[in-house]
Amino acid sequence: MSGSLEQAHAWLAQDPDPHTRAELAELISSAEGGDAAAEADLDDRFAGRLAFGTAGLRGRLGAGSNRMNRVLVAQAAAGLAAYVRERAGADAEPTVVIGYDGRRNSDVFARDSAEIFAGAGIRALLLPRLLPTPVLAFAVRHLGADAGVMVTASHNPPNDNGYKVYLGGAEDGAQIVPPADADIAARIQRVADEADAPAIPRSAGYETAPESVIDAYVAATAAVAPAPPGAEGLSWAYTAMHGVGWETLERILDAAGYPAPTLVEAQIAPDGAFPTVAFPNPEEPGAMDLAFETARQSGAELVIANDPDADRLAVALPDETADGGWRRLTGNEIGLLLGWRAAQLASLSGGAKAAAEGSDEAEGSEDDREPQDAAPKPSLACSLVSSPGLQTIAEHYGLDFHATLTGFKWISRAPGMVFGFEEALGYLVNPETVRDKDGISAAIAMLGLVADARGRGATLGDLLHEFEQIFGFFASDQISVRVDDLSIIGRIMAGLREQHPSHLADIPVTRVDDLLEGVDDLPPGDVLRLWLEDGSRVIVRPSGTEPKLKAYLDVRGDSADDARARIGALAASVRTLLDDHS
């Protein structure tokens, strides 16, 4: 019997799910009958174990150690329970809150987790129904929980699911980072090594979190941008992308005073099959076509979209030059507008000045005062692959700026942050409420921006032009090289490290930062950052989730046309560079 067949039989013996048991039993029977395709499928399902890392777990649904299923989730919950109990101390009764979205098996995985946490002597609070990821992130802080789990695969393909972990206490409700991920993974592995999921203690003594948690999130998010007078008569369209965003957003719109949108009815109810989109990600071509058609028919001034778990935001505006008459803003364009808003608010509140002055206004002489740690200066933060325009905004308003590794697990930890974003449609506009990207609060902030502009007779497009007049003309692009053989990515990165390009688009390369060597206090990473003489920037890194190499390009031009020309020339040069090294 082959190794994968032995593993499959062992897995079958502990699988509590009748659907995956039947699926696996059929594969075993076919493989034992000599079916080569079934043998290959089993080899893939048991080739390894779905890795637990800083994004928790994420993968395809199905039976096997390399898939998302009830056995894997039970092991993950038991390992996390052991970590939380050890972290809390022997005499403590820690609390874990669990949320879930509308994907297939999300509710099942969430209830399994709640039972296992309760069985481990942990107070387990299950959110009362499927809700957005930001509500779970909020609940960890609001309830003072020791940890939180969100069962979601965000905007992944329909047959995926995932398990995202947050920590409370000193981590303040942020996603896990090293070394916590490795510590949790080690405990999960110890549970898995016992290969006896049915023996993991369970209890039905978990609690359902009160509605007051959702009420508090609604109130806090409505306060992000109460509707100004310009909101009256605003016409806009909204899609939830078959996700869980609309129920919560609808309540917040009412509380904040915004007019209801025209809904993309075919995409408004949660549906884990995502029947109207090939890929439930508003960044993907075609994903917002129904929203654009709805907006055209209703005469909308803008389109707002959330991804399926509502932690990301997409925005589009009318544009006669675009196919279909609508143009989706890039993640950088949205991030810079929201960053501009945040900087203005910080400036109006006097936060930057107060932080800069520190304790100068305290009573008593310098000798009389007790030493105190100065509060961090208000700051803007973004991932290092996002637009450098955010730093320009921060400098204009006298705020600090921080560039972090990709992911909100890093962005949310930037000192003094009042706003953070990443170019992949993630925005954190209310860090005192949620320490993660939040597509719902970002939507409210964007509606506030648009309504303010309307009040003075301006549009969203006008805001983009005003930004350029104040801060300059920034342009960005992204190049992805998808591979079948992962060694190609390693070969390209090694080649670039061995021989840096001297010029790109006929512009000298003046500096190369290799983050493997540690740069700017950033954790080490497989990232190369190239700076050009004209201030342009190219960042090359392997994708963390797909078999891709990614290059991020940023330029600043003397005009919009100049910026477009520069980014076009740079993109062509970088494509040639990557082809030469592949």
Ordered by start, the domain boundaries in the chain are 1-47, 54-209, 472-581
Residue 140 is predicted with a pLDDT of: 98
Those residues whose C-beta lies under 8 Å from the C-beta of residue 202, and which sit 6 or more positions away, are 115, 116, 118, 119
Q: Before 523, cis peptide (omega within 30)?
A: no
460: number of CA atoms within 13 Å, CB side? 29
Q: How far apart are CA 273 and CA 288, in angstroms?
A: 17
E strands, 269-378, where? 302-306, 313-318, 326-328
Q: How far is CA 530 from CA 506, 515, 526, 551, in A?
A: 14, 11, 14, 11
Q: How far apart are CA 67 and CA 76, in angstroms?
A: 13
Q: How many CB atoms lie within 10 A of CB 399?
A: 27
Q: Which two tokens stand for residue 532?
A: 């050009």
Is residue 460 within 8 A of residue 317, CB to CB? The reply is yes
Q: At what angle do helices 245-256 and 211-222 cross, to 10 degrees?
A: 50
Q: Which residues pair with 556 in a beta bridge?
A: 474
Q: How many CB atoms lie within 10 A of CB 250?
A: 16
Is residue 563 within 8 A of residue 540, CB to CB? The reply is no
Q: How far apart are CA 321 and CA 319, in angstroms?
A: 5
| CATH architecture, range 54-209 | 3-Layer(aba) Sandwich (3.40)
Q: How far apart are CA 73 and CA 310, in angstroms?
A: 23
Residue 90 is predicted with a pLDDT of: 81
Q: How far apart are CA 96 and CA 139, in angstroms?
A: 10
Active-site residue list: 154
Q: How far is CA 208 from CA 116, 212, 369, 548, in A?
A: 15, 11, 48, 41
Q: How far is CA 12 from CA 28, 47, 64, 65, 109, in A?
A: 10, 16, 9, 11, 18
Q: How far is CA 113 from CA 151, 163, 231, in A?
A: 10, 10, 43
Q: How far is CA 455 from CA 235, 243, 317, in A?
A: 14, 32, 18
End-to-end CA distance of the chain: 40
The amino acid at residue 67 is: R
Q: How far apart are CA 332 and CA 214, in angstroms?
A: 30
Instruction: Calculate the CA dihedral of residues 526, 532, 538, 541 and round it to 10 degrees.
Output: -10
Q: How far apart are CA 540 and CA 496, in angstroms?
A: 9
Nearest to 539 by CA among 570, 506, 581: 570
What is the pTM assigned to this prediction? 0.93
Q: Which residues pair with 126 in a beta bridge?
A: 98, 208
Alpha helix segments (H runs only) across 349-473: 351-357, 389-396, 408-411, 439-455, 460-471
Question: How is 139-166 classified by DSSP, letter by letter?
Answer: HHHHTT-SEEEEE--TTS-TTEEEEEEE
Nearest to 377 by CA among 345, 415, 430: 415
Q: What is the layout of strands, in order, in the sheet containing 326-328? A: 262-263, 236-239, 302-306, 313-318, 326-328
Going residue by residue through the chain, which has 582 residues, state the pLDDT in tens, using 9 for 90 and above: 578 999 999 999 999 999 999 999 999 999 999 999 999 999 999 999 998 887 799 999 999 999 999 999 999 999 999 999 999 988 889 999 999 999 999 999 999 999 999 999 999 999 999 999 999 999 999 999 999 999 999 999 999 999 999 999 999 999 999 999 999 999 999 999 987 899 999 999 999 999 999 999 999 999 999 999 999 999 999 999 999 999 999 999 999 999 999 999 999 999 999 999 989 999 998 999 999 999 999 999 999 999 999 999 999 999 988 888 999 999 999 999 999 999 999 998 864 444 444 434 434 444 444 445 678 899 999 999 999 999 999 999 999 999 999 899 999 999 999 999 999 999 999 999 999 999 999 999 999 999 999 999 999 999 999 999 999 999 999 999 988 888 899 999 999 999 999 999 999 999 999 999 878 778 888 999 999 999 999 999 998 767 889 999 999 999 999 999 999 999 999 999 999 887
Alpha helix segments (H runs only) across 2-124: 3-14, 18-32, 36-45, 70-88, 106-119
Q: Which two tokens stand for residue 377?
A: 């200066």
Residue 576 is predicted with a pLDDT of: 94
Q: Indicate the class that CATH gives domain 472-581.
A: alpha beta
Instruction: Calculate the CA dihedral of residues 130, 134, 139, 145 and round it to 10 degrees.
Output: 110
Nearest to 434 by CA among 453, 454, 455, 411: 411
Residue 373 is predicted with a pLDDT of: 60
Is residue 343 within 8 A of residue 394, CB to CB? The reply is yes
Residue 372 is predicted with a pLDDT of: 52
